[in-house]
Structure 1
Amino acid sequence: MAKWTPRHEAPEPLEGPIVATITGGTILWFVMFLVQVPFYGWFDDHDLTWWVWTCLAGGGLGLIGIWYVRGRDAALKRAREAAEAAGTPDTGPRA
């Protein structure tokens, strides 16, 4: 098993517009749900109603994701401000 162990450092995580990305994805899930609702009968006839409910579940989970990443973003900003006020170098990710 030792030969499969990587011998290099893991790269730093990529940071980007996380809140905007999650919000955009959530909007897309809800739009896909709303587009499919008028055709629910067709989905039901073909035993594909799971497509409709998957989109609704994706939108609902996206709302939880928005709440989570907004809190994470606020916590990162608070930690950065506290580090700047204390005069210590900030080693956390940038948001």
Structure 2
Amino acid sequence: MSEPRARRPDPPPMPTDDVKIAAVGTGAWAVALVVLAVVGLPDDDRWWLWVCGAGVVIGLFAMWYIPRLQSARVRQTKRD
């Protein structure tokens, strides 16, 4: 039997701008909300407005929370 090859180490994570990603997603939900509000929906499908509104609210929360999460991770890494 042949020996198993040594596994290479995992590459470091790529740096990303997570707040910008959340902002783009929030913007997309906001555009969808405006389009659906302007176009109008049948009474059966008005729940889509709530879905878009929830997407905007969650995106705004993410844009507030992500910098705090990242700085907490940096502080934790420095402590260890």
TM-score band (shorter)? 0.5 to 0.7
Structure 2 counterpart SS, 1:69: helix
Per-residue deviation at 1:44? Answer: 2.7
TM (norm. structure 2) is: 0.66
Alignment pair present for 1:24 and 2:21: no
Where does residue 34 of structure 2 map in the other structure? 34
Instruction: Quote the RMSD (CA, aligned, Å).
Output: 2.9
What TM-score, normalized by structure 1, do the two folds share? 0.57
Give structure 1 regions of 4+ aligned residues with deviation exceeding 6 angstroms: none
Structure 1: gaps spanning 5 or more residues: 1-10, 91-95
Q: CA-to-partner distance for each residue in 1:11-47, whole Å, 9 max, x for gaps?
A: 789552211111111111111101111123xx134x1
Aligned partners of 1:56, 1:27: CA distance in 2, in Å? 11
Equivalence map 1:1-95=2 (5 Å): 14=13, 16-40=16-40, 43-45=41-43, 47-77=44-74, 79=75, 83=78
Give the match for residue 6 of structure 1: none
Q: Percent identity?
A: 30
Query: Bigger relative contact order, structure 1 or 2, given CA contacts below 8 A and separation 6+?
Result: 2
SS in 2 for 1:73: helix
- Unpaired runs of 5+ residues, structure 2, are 1-9
Amino acid in the other structure paired with 1:50 = W
Change (3 A) 1:13 1:21: farther
